[in-house]
Homo-oligomer: A and B are copies of this chain.
């Protein structure tokens, strides 16, 4: 968020990364192969209703699995695309076809009806792109290289995952629950109280480690509110509340970084002692 004029003048060349809301919306996927199976998974994550339009003979095993296991959300139409009426009532269209001509035609129909559309492998025809994703409960991370290769995106994904403790999703869930409890104690929308609630939550999030939240159960949350919010809106220390820190990636790193030098110090001392006592004996 810098105000450097040169930076502002250079802004461009990217996409708008957004979290599209599909809850109970209708999504048509034309095709049933491997790419289609990836699309089904992404769309299931977003709680939409999915129609997979493809002959059964061409279904990828994972697409079949989704159709079998998620009949609550996925409908299979065992046939080819038949015409514009397939788009009726749809909120998003995805094609995953080898037939570029058909993909082109479907994109054109979608545009006429102003339905967002993605045609796999034909970036020029897409309203939006997919990217590599990390999911951990309420936490979703997307990595886009703006068309510079899915391979690099998946390498970046591994690098990012290595920096996460794996407790972030749980921590975010707990922060959400704590915020709801706070709202019950200090209800109302906006105003001074709303700002105070937001400020207290914000301080708590800044002063605690994310992992401190992940272990909070219901009574521990009440305890945070009793000893924090209710006592002059202070931020209690996790140790005050008997919250023991779980081991995390970064903590296991600091343990290692202390352990290794200790062993090395000990080894050095023993080596010198042995050498000296050996030379003393001669």
Q: Does A109 contact B (CB under 8 A)?
A: no
**B138–A17 touching, CB < 8 Å:** no
The contact of A205 among B20, B151, B205, by CB within 8 Å, is B151
Which residue from chain B places its CB closest to the CB of A205 in the assembled complex? B151
- Shortest CB-to-CB span from A26 to chain B, Å, is 13
Determine the chain B residues whose CB is within 8 A of the CB of A147 once the complex forms. Answer: 138
- Shortest CB-to-CB span from A161 to chain B, Å, is 9
Determine the chain B residues whose CB is within 8 A of the CB of A263 once the complex forms. Answer: 261
The contact of A143 among B66, B139, B268, by CB within 8 Å, is B139
- Shortest CB-to-CB span from A76 to chain B, Å, is 15
Determine the chain B residues whose CB is within 8 A of the CB of A22 once the complex forms. Answer: 15-16
Binding stretch for chain B, among A77-85, A169-177, A218-226: A169-177
Determine the chain B residues whose CB is within 8 A of the CB of A260 once the complex forms. Answer: 257, 260-261, 264
- Shortest CB-to-CB span from A29 to chain B, Å, is 13
Which residue from chain B places its CB closest to the CB of A44 in the assembled complex? B11
* Chain A positions 2-20 with a Cβ under 8 Å from a chain B Cβ: 3, 5, 8-9, 11-20
**B21–A126 touching, CB < 8 Å:** yes
- Shortest CB-to-CB span from A260 to chain B, Å, is 5
State the CA gap A118–B13 with chains docked (Å).
Answer: 22
Binding stretch for chain B, among A152-160, A229-237, A238-246: A152-160
**B140–A17 touching, CB < 8 Å:** yes
Q: How large is the interface on A (under 10, 10 to 19, 20 to 34, 35 or more residues)?
A: 35 or more
- Shortest CB-to-CB span from A46 to chain B, Å, is 4
**B149–A175 touching, CB < 8 Å:** yes
- Shortest CB-to-CB span from A242 to chain B, Å, is 23
The contact of A20 among B128, B133, B135, B272, by CB within 8 Å, is B128
**B268–A149 touching, CB < 8 Å:** no
Which residue from chain B places its CB closest to the CB of A165 in the assembled complex? B159
**B45–A12 touching, CB < 8 Å:** yes
State the CA gap A138–B264 with chains docked (Å).
Answer: 43
State the CA gap A130–B17 with chains docked (Å).
Answer: 7
State the CA gap A277–B17 with chains docked (Å).
Answer: 67
Q: Does A193 contact B (CB under 8 A)?
A: no
Interface centre among A42, A113, A128, A173 (most CB of B within 10 A): A128
Can you name 9 A-B residue pairings with CB atoms under 8 Å? A13-B138, A15-B46, A18-B18, A20-B128, A142-B142, A148-B176, A149-B205, A152-B171, A268-B270
Known A16-B20, A17-B131, A268-B269; further 8 A-B contacts with Cβ < 8 A: A1-B38, A19-B146, A138-B146, A140-B144, A148-B173, A149-B179, A152-B172, A159-B210
* 3 shortest interchain CB distances as A-B pairs: A163-B163, A268-B268, A15-B19
